[in-house]
A and B are shown apart, each in its own frame.
Chain A
Amino acid sequence: MTWTRTVRQWLQTEIPYEDLLPDELPAYVDSYVYLFGVLTLSAFVLLVASGIWLAMAGPQWWHVSGVGHFVNSIHFWSVQAFFFFMVLHLWAQFFMAAWRHGRGANWVTGVLLFVVSILAAFTGFLSQQNFDSQWIALQGKDAFNGLGVGSFFNLLNFGQMYGFHVVVLPLVLALLIAVHIFLVRSKGVVTPIEPEARPQKGDEPR
């Protein structure tokens, strides 16, 4: 058995080709609640697109250019939309107990995405090179210093924060999103909780 064949067979078992992009889904997913995830993903696409534009022009550009400021505004409002829909998605999944029937890893990757997104947004605020960055860096440093990580993650070191914001954290986010979507497609959408139900055997997230 070659490594390639092993991976292919694992993929075929975990996510059959038809399940990667299914054209049939249970009728119970026909609800606006199921749009929160895809809207979060859409906001992420806009974040990456506007972020690439800002990065290509350099971190000073948006302070001196009208177009740059507009692209920054797109980035700014995409962040707000990203978190707005992500939190709605998170609460919706919570109230659907969407971790049932072996979907514990979906929930954990979702929470990880939330945490990494907060760090990504935080480093974004620190990369703005304006009063906001200055104030947040000086206020926030005490928490990181208190936890003993201030020298490894120095909020006042623009180069480090910018690197985290434009390379490290977006890559981690993209990877986590890929795993999250893979798990969603692999496990399928969770079935509705039947009324009057209580958690019982078979519900375990594993």
Chain B
Amino acid sequence: MSQRSGQQYAGYRMIESDLIKELTWALLAMTVLVLLLAALFSSPDDPTFTAQEVAVREPALLVHTALDALDGQGAIASYGPPYNHGTGQLQALGPLSPQRWAGVTIPVNAAQVFVLGPLERMVPLDPALASPLARLRSAPASTRARWESAYAAALPHARMAGERIVVPTAAAGPLPALMNAYLALARTGALESIINLNGRVYQTDFTRALLLLQGQPLQSVAAQAHLLGNEWGMMKEPGNYPGAVWLWFYTLLYQIPPYSTSSAGDLMVGLTVGIVTLILALVPWIPGLRDIPYLVPVYRIIWRRHYAETSQPPPSAHGHDG
């Protein structure tokens, strides 16, 4: 023991300690515990949710998603920064809007990226697509809006004829042909890969492909698994596995007003969590908070043997506390 430690612990009974042995046993015990848990309970690994799955199970939902991207009403089409200049998900508290300040840094034109781009890449394989695509592109905005509107209105009454979706309207211009081609493409399982094409072989950024199913398709799957944000979703794992329990405070905020009701809920949660974390880091310097351990004397349980041994007042050498 150094001279400094000798002074620091003066008046306290010393015992032999073996930190290396303690660490070794702790590591061994932890290894056994974790191996047991891994062997008994395994770990969750639900496969990714794909456009192919939606195309097969709920073709109308995928068509609806594509239509939303085309007419600019989809979750991403109207999102706002960093993807585009929409305002659907733009968050601001008065003049405070870091999202707006950061600007559009990952541009996503939903109609082009999610629908028209992939269909254009299919033209060499399906030349019949060229004509409806050209018709849509050359149509005035008002005509295109009329087609989209007519198609959207008739979509709830759609029926399947084999693998084709039949939407009962004659006023949707080239949309029926385009949507059936889109469904066929999604059914192959290649839609996400085509959306993600970047002209290079290697790819590690799946932003665009992942954004495709944002909105109703993924929400409905998550809702079935009780993983939605208003159901403590951020701290849950699929199935009966423990999730990120340590996010309880962050997740809690999403359950209560004003966080759960504000259009700037995420911004408010982020700022609150930041402030609370700062307070936690500064607890030792905050009167009131730093007094809690003295008021809730858990320390008497932790050091109960010390207190039992030393019923006499402590020596003045280390009497800062009393």
Contact = CB atoms under 8 A, between A and B. Distances in A.
Interface string A18-51: 1101111111111101010011011101100000
B49 A76 contact: no
Interface in A177-206: 188, 191-203, 205
Interface string A69-80: 110111111101
A21 B19 contact: yes
B35 to A, nearest CB: 7
Interface in A147-196: 147-151, 154, 156-160, 162, 188, 191-196
Most chain-B CB neighbours within 10 Å: which of A17, A18, A137, A195? A195
Interface in A59-73: 62-63, 69-70, 72-73
B227 A22 contact: no
B221 to A, nearest CB: 8
Interface of A: 16-19, 21-31, 33, 35, 38-39, 41-43, 45-46, 62-63, 69-70, 72-78, 80-81, 83, 87, 92, 94-97, 99-101, 103-104, 107-108, 111-112, 115, 117-118, 121-122, 125, 128-140, 142-143, 145-151, 154, 156-160, 162, 188, 191-203, 205
10 contacts: A24-B14, A42-B30, A46-B27, A69-B43, A77-B34, A80-B37, A81-B34, A192-B307, A194-B322, A198-B294
Given A111-B280, A199-B290, 10 more contacts: A77-B43, A92-B302, A99-B290, A135-B233, A139-B222, A140-B234, A146-B270, A148-B99, A191-B9, A198-B294
Contact of A131 (B2, B49, B106, B318): B49
Nearest to A30: B15
Nearest to A77: B37
A95 B82 contact: no
Contact of B267 (A69, A132, A146, A158): A146
Contacts of B12: 26-28, 191
Most chain-A CB neighbours within 10 Å: which of B27, B45, B313, B321? B321
A187 to B, nearest CB: 9
B102 A74 contact: no
Nearest to B287: A199
B1 interface: yes
A146 B98 contact: yes
Given A18-B2, A193-B293, A142 B15 contact: no
A87 B246 contact: yes
A147 to B, nearest CB: 4
A129 B48 contact: yes
Contact of B30 (A81, A100, A130, A132): A81
Contact of B302 (A87, A96, A191): A96
Contacts, number: 308
**Secondary structure class of chain B's binding surface, majority of residues:** helix
Interface string B224-263: 0001010001100110011011110000000000000000
Contacts of B19: 21-22
B112 interface: no
Given A28-B12, A146-B91, A151-B82, A42 B4 contact: no
Given A33-B302, A139-B233, A107 B18 contact: no
Nearest to A196: B322
A102 to B, nearest CB: 10
B105 interface: yes
B214 A46 contact: no
A68 B42 CA distance: 11
A107 B45 contact: no
Contact of A148 (B101, B214, B318): B101
Interface stretch (B61-69, B138-146, B148-156, B201-209): B201-209
B320 A96 contact: no
Q: What 10 pairs across the A-B complex have the smallest Cβ distances?
A: A148-B98, A159-B204, A194-B322, A151-B105, A202-B320, A205-B284, A99-B284, A146-B266, A73-B38, A95-B298
A92 B37 CA distance: 25
A132 B102 contact: no
Interface string B27-51: 1011101110111011111111100
Contacts of B233: 135, 139
Contacts of B163: none
Nearest to A91: B298
